Amino acid sequence: MPFTLGELAVRFGLALRGDPDRIIDHIGTIAGAGPRGLAFFANPKLVDQLTAANAGAIVLHPKMQEATTLDCLLADNPHASFAHIAQLLHPVPMAPAGVHPAAVVAADADIHPSAHVGPLVVIGARSRIGARAFIGAGSVIGDDVSLGDDVRLVARVTVMDKVVIGERSILHPGAVIGADGFGYAAEGERWVFVPQVGTVRIGCDVEIGANTAIDRGALEDTVIGNGVKMDNLVQIGHNCRVGDHTALAGCAGMAGSAEVGARCRIGGGVCIAGHLTICDDVTLTGTSFVTHDIREPGIYAGGGIPVESASEWRRIVGRVKRLGTLAQRVTDLERGAGSANDSAGTTDKDD
């Protein structure tokens, strides 16, 4: 649906520089959006890109408006404002209400009349599906599950027994919520499975990426707070807790009973060992390995050696391996210097 630039400015509380009657009907890149398209710009280091801009209008910070002659919407947070406008210009299509004939639904499941249940969906006993929920093709919902209003299971999502998912949450294809956690007791040479009797409770406005797995709790529940965002291929172990509005990038993993606070940013490939606590407002850079509690907000890094040529990498590793020998040599030299100083002091006193 098209909007004028003036309508967008009023709707989102933005200042406007340019033609308020310009029609905007889609979003795009600075170079490729076209005369009816809207782009955004937020990185002053890339200001040269504005010279090649082909968009009809740009969302940018007021301090950057002199760098372009294009029509502008001025925002203190251009990326966030652009995201809100993008949702307006490109809304998620509404699916028709009702249950597809190829779905299998338990007789005592409670499905709101406005919900959409797609083909080959399975819904178990006593499960509740909220208003305007979207259950995409091939999804499986176990017994006693509760899905809030406007929840969206895009396709082929598995939600196991007793899981609770809050309103407006989105789960992408292949996500598995509530599978058994990795819980075993050692008995001689064999492993004995410990029944996982908890479940998973997910808050409102959560988004869970493709092929992400969130295990059910062993004794207590695994808990995901409101507004949490997870990328693809994230692993959350049993009994973990993730605080409100924390974001986890692709391939991040949390071992069992780890807790991450609110508003944290967990980079791609980060590994968090089990039974650890990370406080609110922590950023972990990509591939960091966390082996101890983090009790102070801030940015933490613990990744491996950055990529180098193979020959240089071997030299670096060789030097690292020799650090122990080097440290011992330094210690020996310090001890020798201390002994020499002690001897010199004794001689001076005797003189």
Nearest C-alpha neighbor of 274 from the set 313, 230, 311, 222: 222
Q: Give the pLDDT of residue 345.
A: 60
Q: Confidence class of residue 351 from pLDDT cuts 50, 70 and 90? A: very low
Give residue-wise pLDDT tens across range 21-57. 999 999 999 989 999 999 999 988 888 888 878 899 9
Higher-pLDDT residue of 343 and 36 is 36
Distances (CA, A) of 42 to 9, 198, 336: 18, 44, 58
Return the pLDDT at 346.
55
Q: What is the pLDDT of residue 186?
A: 97
**26-27 and 134-135 beta bridge pairing:** unpaired
Tell me the residue type at 145.
V
Burial of 45: CB neighbours in 10 Å, binned 0-12, 13-18, 19+: exposed
pLDDT, tens only, 109-133: 999 999 999 999 999 999 999 999 9
pLDDT of residue 285: 95
Q: What pairing do the DSSP bridges indicate for beta strands 282-284 and 23-24?
A: unpaired
Token digits for 64?
A: 């950057």
pLDDT at 13: 97
Quote the pLDDT of residue 143.
Answer: 98
pLDDT at residue 200, rounded to an integer: 98
Q: Is 238 in the active site?
A: yes
3-state secondary structure string across the chain: CCEEHHHHHHHHCCEEECCCCCEECEECCCCCCCCCEEEECCCHHHHHHHHHCCCCEEEECHHHHHHCCCEEEECCCHHHHHHHHHHHHCCCCCCCCEECCCCEECCCCEECCCCEECCCCEECCCCEECCCCEECCCCEECCCCEECCCCEECCCCEECCCCEECCCCEECCCCEEEECCCCEEEECCEEEECCCCCCEEECCCCEECCCCEEECCCCCCEEECCCCEECCCCEECCCCEECCCCEECCCCEECCCCEECCCCEECCCCEECCCCEECCCEEECCCCEECCCECCCEEECCCCCCCCCHHHHHHHHHHHHCHHHHHHHHHHHHHHHHHHHHHHHHHHHHC
Tell me the pLDDT tens digit for each residue of 57-97.
999 999 999 999 999 999 999 999 999 999 999 999 889 99
Which pTM was predicted?
0.89
Task: Share the mean pLDDT of the chain.
Answer: 94
Q: Which residue has the higher pLDDT, 347 or 205?
A: 205
| Given the residues 116, 172, 238, 245, the one annotated as active site | 238
Q: What mean pLDDT do residues 212-222 have? A: 97
* Res. 307 pLDDT band, cuts 50 70 90: confident
76 DSSP 8-state letter? S
Please tell me the predicted confidence (pLDDT) of residue 44: 87
pLDDT reported for residue 339: 65
